[in-house]
Chains A and B, each alone.
Chain A
Amino acid sequence: MNPRKVGSVAWKELLQSSRDPLSLGMLLGVPCMMLLLYGYAVNFDVRHVALAVEDDDKSAASRELVASFVNSTYFDDVADLGAGADLRRLTERRKARAVLIIPEGAGRDLAAGRTVPLQLLLDGVDANTATTALGYASALVAAANVQKLAAAGGRVQLAPIDFQPRVWYNPELKSTRFLVPGLIGFILMLTAVLSTAISVVREKERGTMEQLRVTSLKPGELILGKTLPYLGISLTATALILAAARFLFGIAVAGPYLHLFAAALVYLIGALGLGLLVSSISDTQAVAFQVGALVSMLPAIFLSGFIFPIRSMPRALQIVTYAVPARYFNVVLRGVILKGAGLESYPRDMAFLVLYALAVMGLAYVRLARKEV
């Protein structure tokens, strides 16, 4: 393998992509746009659920209960309803996500030691928000009950359990901190696969691939020359995302940078190999784009634990996720960025990434050497 030949192919590739500033801009601009989208728009922190209240009791006790809902900041009291309001229309028009109904005589029944049924209507369309809201409501009602009991106990000193929740690595449980590392894995996979696949297929379409083949370039030199520029661009994108995450969202890398970039390098080699493989089965840029987006984007979003926990998937799908490199990369990246760990904490995940990179690059080399690319 001749480094000078590799270098000249890489230089040609860079020149070529610099002639298409729109595509190059997208290669660097898309990561930043994704970061903004995920950082600001994707948020699972449920707060201020729109709550309508039908207080048929209007006693001190019922007002106290409603106040405890509103003061928690989990619920916003958006409407006070009279008895017999059209609850269905209210939820259908999404004016309220939940309706709390306090029956008449609640205060009197409570004082008499009876159990008061509280109805909570939930709009279940967005199941995640509804589940969270139900959790908040149960906790608030339980707290109100304990208070009632303590008050009824009079002089007897009563103590409920002293619950001390602690959250490590992300004390405010911010979605952003959880999404950013996964986002890096997703963006790297997308840009690396698409840019290599399209650049190779473009040469196939224009017939310049044939010309490259009849030169004295060896397959290995051609592969290296074509992938090195995109490796460089992708690593630059990584640095850009990290800088943006630092300045926009205050997410600093807690672990060693060297380990982070080492993991990214291994992951990218696998992604670039996948791009070469995609190019070997596509004849046109349109097909390369479709196939590339499908094999890179969907697994990296849905099967990597980026957003949706792998544990909650059906068994068969969980098995499929073992073949998705983003799954391992996410674990390592969250460890290094948020937990301040080094790669030594994740020998199994790193081993999988190395194995994947070797297998995919090997396969791409074989196909290219057989002139199938």
Chain B
Amino acid sequence: MHELLAVIVKEFLQLRQDRKMIPAMVVGPIIQLLALGYAANLDVAHVPMVLVDQDRSPASRALVERFTGAGTFDLVGAEDGPAAIDPWLVEGRAQIALVIADGYGEAVAEASAGHPPRVQVIADGTDANSSGLGLGYASQILAGAGAEMVAARRVPGGARMASGRYELVPRVWYNPDLKSRWFYVPAVIAMVLMLVTMILPSMAVVREKEIGTLEQLSVTPLRSWQLVLGKLIPFLILGMLDMLLVTGLVTGLFHVPLRGSLLVLAFLTFLFLLTTLGLGLLVSTLVRTMQQAMGLCVFVLMVPMIYLSGLIFPVENMPRGFQIASYAIPVKYYANVLRGVFLKGSGLGVLWPEALSLLGIGLTVLTLASLRFRKSLE
């Protein structure tokens, strides 16, 4: 126990000496938070729209009003004919074109099935996500206008038509204002933890390899498990502190609610760190230089884990094969934990499958890494 403590103290002293890493450890998370908190936003608003109104009737103006009134579409220009739309979309000055053909007003007034009022919406598909959402809004606007038009019409008898209708009453749980920020910001915790408890320990071990001090340590009476624990525990402590720091920022600065218990979050974070620490140690046994360690950690581990885990991009939209592969990625379970505890207020009663998966993966990886590490010492 005494020897273990000595290695831990040594590791902390070494960390403190490497002063340039400290700003990187603090500034990095803050910049990530700001980027994900403010820039990561898929909400669609103010889509620039060019108008071709060949009808110029009160009915067509009313329709344009419906498009521009909601704040989703901004009218940026008008043209006389559909042929003139091309440069607007190519140069990106407009993303959507609304074309109301001649005779729209007449068709609305007369409204026979053989001669429906015709509206064309042209979208620039290069920005697939916002164009898709934009077209969705457009079809909602037109469906609303169409339904009103039909309802306002009178049957030959003179009375208004009576018909039952559905009214959609949406209720959104956990994130009632549908802010994308609430989805993205807690993810920063996972990213920071990967940096602090996977990349940094792997580099710390490789540095000792490069300088040759690891060899010196291996000839001391230290047992290899003491060496492993002594190396990893400081980063475990740093990781837990970072988790608390970022949680404070997430709730304080970005007003994301922490509905569940901090204790549950801390416990499940500890389980997640078993995996990240193990992976960091594993990487250190595979490479010779710090540059290789960084490259391996960032590009082979961190980036794919972030993208395939549903941390930022939903797993549900991926091809079947990727969805199955995502079960092997520990970050997936931790992403569920973060969202469950922060937004849904879930406890262990709901999150126990995640806890078990994290524990299983963590112990496996850590054991594997320790075995390889011991071999590399001999």
Contact = CB atoms under 8 A, between A and B. Distances in A.
B307 A139 contact: no
A313 B39 contact: yes
Given A41-B307, A121-B171, A158-B150, A166 B164 contact: no
A124 B173 contact: yes
B35 A298 contact: yes
A93 B174 CA distance: 13
28 contacts: A26-B295, A33-B299, A40-B318, A117-B167, A123-B173, A124-B182, A127-B43, A128-B43, A132-B132, A134-B170, A137-B170, A139-B139, A142-B144, A146-B147, A152-B162, A157-B113, A160-B146, A161-B146, A163-B139, A165-B120, A165-B122, A165-B138, A168-B89, A168-B125, A302-B35, A307-B40, A334-B126, A339-B90
Given A122-B172, A125-B174, A156-B156, A294 B31 contact: yes
B296 to A, nearest CB: 8
Given A91-B174, A93-B350, A115-B167, 16 more contacts: A33-B299, A92-B350, A123-B173, A125-B174, A129-B316, A132-B132, A145-B165, A146-B147, A159-B112, A161-B146, A166-B121, A168-B123, A169-B89, A170-B125, A289-B291, A311-B46
A310 to B, nearest CB: 9
Contacts, number: 366
B140 A115 contact: no
B226 interface: no
A8 interface: no
B292 A312 contact: no
Interface in A153-193: 153-154, 156-175, 177-178, 181
A121 B174 CA distance: 11
Nearest to B153: A158
B298 A127 contact: no
B325 to A, nearest CB: 9
B229 to A, nearest CB: 24
Contacts of B292: 22-23
A43 B42 contact: no
B126 A131 contact: no
Contact of B133 (A30, A115, A131, A142): A131
Contact of A125 (B20, B28, B182, B294): B182
Contact of B125 (A41, A46, A148, A177): A177
Contacts of A286: 20-21, 203, 290, 294
Contacts of A50: 316
B172 A116 contact: no
A285 B20 CA distance: 11
B111 interface: yes
Interface in B144-177: 144-147, 149-151, 153, 155-156, 161-176
A37 interface: yes
Contact of A287 (B24, B87, B151, B162): B24
A250 to B, nearest CB: 15
A168 B150 contact: no
Interface stretch (A105-113, A208-216, A230-238): A105-113
A145 B116 CA distance: 18
B166 A118 contact: yes
Contacts of B129: 44, 128, 175, 178, 309
B38 A40 contact: no
Interface in B102-135: 107, 111-133, 135
Contact of B39 (A134, A174, A308): A308
Q: Which of B41, B119, B137, B183 has the largest count of A CB atoms less than 10 A from its CB?
A: B41
B155 A127 contact: no
A137 B166 contact: no
Interface of B: 20-21, 24, 27-28, 31-32, 35-36, 38-47, 87, 89-92, 107, 111-133, 135-140, 142-147, 149-151, 153, 155-156, 161-176, 178-180, 182-183, 203, 287, 290-292, 294-295, 298-299, 303-304, 307-308, 313-314, 316-319, 322, 336, 339-340, 343-344, 346, 350
A129 B133 CA distance: 10
A312 B95 CA distance: 14
Contact of A162 (B119, B128, B166): B119
A54 to B, nearest CB: 13
Contacts of A170: 125-126, 128, 131
B132 A312 contact: no
A293 interface: yes
A266 interface: no
A110 B165 CA distance: 6
Contacts of B316: 46, 48-50, 97, 129
A45 B132 contact: yes
Given A125-B174, A152-B161, A289 B294 contact: yes
B322 to A, nearest CB: 5
A174 to B, nearest CB: 6
Nearest to A106: B166
Nearest to A38: B307
A84 interface: no
A118 B132 contact: no
A49 B125 CA distance: 23
Contact of A331 (B89, B92, B153): B92
Contact of A302 (B40, B123, B151): B40
A122 B117 contact: no
A100 B339 CA distance: 23
A38 B39 CA distance: 19
A308 B37 CA distance: 12
A174 B128 CA distance: 6
Contacts of A338: 125-126
